[in-house]
Amino acid sequence: MQVIILKYVQVLCITVFFSNNINCDKLLLHNEQEDQHLYRIGSCAAECLTEDDAPKSLESCYKLCSEDGALERTPMLEQNVKLSFHIKLICRDSTSLVVEVRVGNTPSPHYGVPNGITDQQNGISRIHQSIGGGGGGGKSMQKISADQKRISGKVRRSIDKSVPSANYRDAVRAKNNSTRFVYLIKVQESGSELGDRIVYMSNSSVLKIENLFPNKRYNITATVLSSNREYIYVKKQQQFRTLPRDYTPGMITNIDVLNYQTSRENDSLLDAVIAWRPAVDMTCHYEILHYVSDAPDYQLKPIDVQQPQELYRYTIHSLKLSSEYVIAVRAKNTKNPARESELQWHTFHTPSCIDWHNSSAICAPENVANVRAEAVHLSGDNYQFNISWDKPRFVPDYYVVKLYDLNLAHLDDLEAEASSDTRNVSGVGPAATEDLTFFL
DSSP labels, 13-63: ---STT---HHHHHHHHHHHHHHHHHHHHHHHHHHHHH--SS---HHHHHH
Q: Among residues 24, 10, 196, 38, which one has the least CA distance to residue 132?
A: 38
Higher pLDDT: 306 or 270? It is 270
- Give the span between the Cα atoms of 205 and 227, in whole angstroms: 15
Domain assignment present for residue 367? The answer is: no
What mean pLDDT is predicted for residues 124-131?
Answer: 32
Report residue 383's pLDDT band, with 50, 70 and 90 as the boundaries.
confident
> Are 281 and 231 within one domain?
no
Residue 324 is predicted with a pLDDT of 94
In single-letter form, the type of residue at position 120 comes to: Q
Residue 311 is predicted with a pLDDT of 82
- pLDDT tens for residues 332-369? 998 888 899 999 999 999 999 999 988 888 888 888 88
> Are 181 and 39 within one domain?
yes
- 278: which residues sit within 8 A by CB, 6+ positions away? 91, 111, 250, 252, 312, 331
Query: Considering 293, 327, 357, which residue would you say is the last residue of a domain?
Result: 357
> Are 197 and 333 within one domain?
no
Find the domain containing 435 and state its range: 372-439
Which residue stretches of 222-335 are H helix?
Answer: none
> Are 133 and 257 within one domain?
no
Domain assignment present for residue 247? The answer is: no
pLDDT at 156 over 60: no
What mean pLDDT is predicted for residues 183-187?
Answer: 92
Mean pLDDT, the chain, integer? 74
Q: Is the pTM of this model over 0.85?
A: no
Percent of the chain with pLDDT over 70: 65
What mean pLDDT is predicted for residues 321-332?
Answer: 92
> Are 230 and 257 within one domain?
no
Among 21-35, 40-54, 207-221, 370-384, which is the least confidently predicted range? 21-35
Domain assignment present for residue 72? The answer is: yes
- Give the span between the Cα atoms of 308 and 112, in whole angstroms: 11
> Are 340 and 392 within one domain?
no
> Are 426 and 281 within one domain?
no
> Are 345 and 376 within one domain?
no
Residue 381 is predicted with a pLDDT of 81
Query: Considering 208, 241, 274, which residue would you say is the last residue of a domain?
Result: 241
Among 123-127, 242-246, 380-384, which is the least confidently predicted range? 123-127
pLDDT at 436 over 60: no
Domain assignment present for residue 365? The answer is: no
Domain assignment present for residue 20? The answer is: yes
Specify the number of domains making up the chain: 3
Q: Which H/E stretch holds residue 418?
A: helix 413-419
- 176: which residues sit within 8 A by CB, 6+ positions away? 50, 51, 52
Q: Which H/E stretch holds residue 357?
A: helix 353-357
Task: Assign residue 334 the CATH number of its domain.
Answer: 2.60.40.10
What mean pLDDT is predicted for residues 260-285?
Answer: 93
pLDDT at 131 over 50: no
> Are 145 and 232 within one domain?
yes
In single-letter form, the type of residue at position 220 comes to: I
- Highest-confidence range of 9-23, 34-48, 89-103, 304-318, by mean pLDDT? 89-103
> Are 316 and 433 within one domain?
no
> Are 344 and 422 within one domain?
no
> Are 66 and 86 within one domain?
yes
Percent of the chain with pLDDT over 90: 31
Query: Considering 294, 329, 357, which residue would you say is the last residue of a domain?
Result: 357
Instruction: Check: CB of residue 44 under 8 Å from CB of residue 65.
Output: yes
pLDDT at 170 over 60: no
